[in-house]
Chains A and B, each alone.
Chain A
Amino acid sequence: DAGVIQSPRHEVTEMGQEVTLRCKPISGHDYLFWYRQTMMRGLELLIYFNNNVPIDDSGMPEDRFSAKMPNASFSTLKIQPSEPRDSAVYFCASRARGVAEQYFGPGTRLTVT
């Protein structure tokens, strides 16, 4: 398996623009997670899905952030409009039902100018 796939790997955009980050979880995994990592706040869980259904989005910072999982093999995290403080590395992770470990993707480094 190729592991968790994220795209793009790097994104540079201007303040006010819409940003869409993409994730393909490992095939057969029932859970998908979106994390954000910054120097100030470390690694934070934003939202997670179980069987394509959002279960907990309490970590989503504000209404500008939204996440969807239209099917078991694809998820998006959208920021609209983007702000400089959204600059961070965004990770997607997935895990299978009944096991402990989450497998992380390589991350998307977002820079908002």
Chain B
Amino acid sequence: DAKTTQPPSMDCAEGRAANLPCNHSTISGNEYVYWYRQIHSQGPQYIIHGLKNNETNEMASLIITEDRKSSTLILPHATLRDTAVYYCIVASWNTGNQFYFGTGTSLTVIP
């Protein structure tokens, strides 16, 4: 039951900003946007989440459009260790347990 659409793969030069898009046109008012990433052979790692305001933490920034139908995860200075599959997930707070990970975007950071 896909609620998000992401490009299957992207490349980014090391040191440059990586901008990962996500479409979630059917998002409802009480649903948040969550981003996780999975580095090869490891468990998924939480990155950031937001409702409607832009968010920033030590790992990344999350930009959500005003209509909330899409968002962009920004890694400001990509490193080789950021090579991973990035998942965009929408879920409501009180059912935030029902995460559908989808296929994500495979980001490759190129030296």
CB pair B45 A42 closer than 8 Å: no
Q: Which of A39-76 contact B (CB under 8 A)?
A: 42-43, 45, 48, 55-56
CB pair A91 B43 closer than 8 Å: yes
The verdict on A1 contacting chain B, using a C-beta distance below 8 Å, is no
Q: Which residues of A contact B (CB under 8 A)?
A: 4, 31, 33, 42-43, 45, 48, 55-56, 91, 93, 100-107
Q: Which residues of B contact A (CB under 8 A)?
A: 32, 34, 38, 41-46, 49, 87, 93, 96-103
Interface of A is mostly: strand
| New A-B pairs, 13, CB < 8 Å, besides A93-B43, A100-B93 | A4-B43, A42-B101, A42-B102, A43-B38, A45-B97, A45-B99, A56-B98, A100-B46, A102-B46, A103-B46, A104-B43, A104-B45, A107-B41
A86 to B20, CA, bound (A): 33
Give how many A-B residue pairs fall within 8 Å (CB-CB). 44
CB pair A56 B46 closer than 8 Å: no
Query: Looking across the interface, which residue of chain A has its beta carbon closest to that of B51?
Result: A100
